[in-house]
Amino acid sequence: MSVEITTGPPEVRIPASTEATDTVGTAEAVLAKRTGAPVRLADAEDLGGSDRSVVLRVRVAESPFELPRTLVVKHYGECPDEARSDPFAHEAASCLLSTSLPPEARVGPELIAHDAGERLLVLEDLGRGSTLADVLFADDPRVAERALLAWARALGRLHSTTAASEADFDALMRRLGERTWTDPVADDVIRAVDELPGLLSQTLGVRTPEAMVRRLADASELLGNSRYRAFSPSDICPDNSLVTGSGVRFLDFEWGCVRDVALDAAYLQYPFPSSWCSYALPETLVENMLSTWRSEIAEVWPELDDDEVLLPRLFSSQLLWVWVSTWWFLPRTGETDRPIDLHMPSPRRSTALVDRWRRLRADADGSGMPDIAEFADRMIEALVERFGAGALHLQAYPAFRAEG
């Protein structure tokens, strides 16, 4: 069990654990190997890693070469044998791909050094700015609107600059020892398509009709090869998006992959469906976010600026996100209807799911898909019957509540 010294401001935690000390020493060795001379790091600050990694901000105390004043070090533990893919390899390959782009096109931190044997990354420190989550949970709607539009612009720029990058990503993953890689969301969608009908029958008494199964099979074609694939950080949630003076920068590429851009673009209409941070947004802002994203990708894929091409793909992506998030978040028999994340200001699972099915019903009505709209109605009724009428009311993000 590690011990932490928590003196100083609350956002600065100075770790005293053996893990942190080892991480600093390993980072010094990796940087010395890269520069060919000793490098000393100091003032390690715990940035809050996970059970997979230690993440520190460090000051460059001594170096014979020019390095940034501070750096971020991420040190991974061993990858479990049962893991589907190695998060260190995903993040290292993702950062290498991003760093290969021109500086003005990067939307993630520059990779300064890495060592696959030590499972360590040394990254550009993007500073102490607010995350998108910080902005959405503050009280200024104008600032939140600008940040969300910047987020949509950064996502579109990332897609346009990494279009047709799959061969490069494959090569980087192989260099890091991974013969194959997977999109974890795609894996979960495939499982959800197979398992959720039984779960719905057991927990809600809802039968999944064959027409819905066929729709899901058609939508799942987005998970395969297409001409609209680009790099995705995969976890593009508000707490992994840093708002800076030069735009939004994405953090945390542990599951970075290449996939169809529609799977990311659906985040613009169904706010952050894989995140704890999933509240409602003003409809006009949602439309503006999608337009901003389209303006960035139009030069690479001009046909996606045509509603007849894009909207069916977006609808398929939305259907997959609603389905897999229902599989993730639906309380099982005997479970309570708790918040998505017990330690964060999250909506209740039932409330988030009802909102997603309501949006899907409206989109299905507008797209001439009565079979999906009818099934979505049954899902809403069953969720409200089990969890109560309170599930009908998903609040807006705090930044927009005063406006309502």
Distance CA 290, CA 295 (A): 9
Distance CA 377, CA 356 (A): 11
Distance CA 237, CA 62 (A): 36
Say if residues 120 and 74 touch (Cβ distance below 8 Å).
yes
Q: Which amino acid is at 183?
A: D
Say if residues 220 and 321 touch (Cβ distance below 8 Å).
no
With DSSP H G I counted as helix, E B as strand and the rest as coil, what are the percentages for the chain, rounded to 5?
50, 15, 35
CA angle 321, 326, 331 (to 5 degrees): 155
Which domains, from first to last, does the chain contain? 4-124 (3.30.200.20), 132-401 (3.90.1200.10)
Q: In terms of pTM, does the model score above 0.85? A: yes
- List all residues 6 or more positions away from 96 whose beta carbon is below 8 Å from its beta carbon: 111, 114, 172
Helix axes 184-203, 370-387, angle to 10 degrees: 60
CA angle 107, 112, 117 (to 5 degrees): 115
- For 4-69, strand residue ranges (E) read 4-5, 14-15, 40-46, 53-62
Please give the torsion angle defined by the CA atoms of residues 53, 59, 64 and 67, in that order, rounded to the nearest 10 degrees. 70
Distance CA 140, CA 136 (A): 8
Burial of 237 per CB tally in 10 Å (0-12, 13-18, 19+): buried
Question: Which alpha helices (DSSP H) does 255-389 contain, by range?
Answer: 261-265, 283-297, 307-329, 349-366, 370-387
pLDDT tens track of the chain, all 404 residues? Answer: 333 323 222 233 333 344 677 899 999 999 999 988 899 999 999 987 677 889 999 999 998 888 899 999 999 988 877 777 889 999 999 999 999 999 888 889 999 999 999 999 999 999 988 999 999 999 999 999 999 999 999 999 999 999 989 999 999 999 998 888 888 889 899 999 999 999 999 999 999 999 999 999 999 999 998 999 999 998 889 999 999 988 999 999 999 999 999 999 998 888 898 888 889 999 999 999 999 999 999 999 999 999 999 999 999 999 999 999 999 999 988 888 999 988 888 999 999 999 999 999 999 999 999 999 999 999 999 999 999 988 889 999 999 987 65
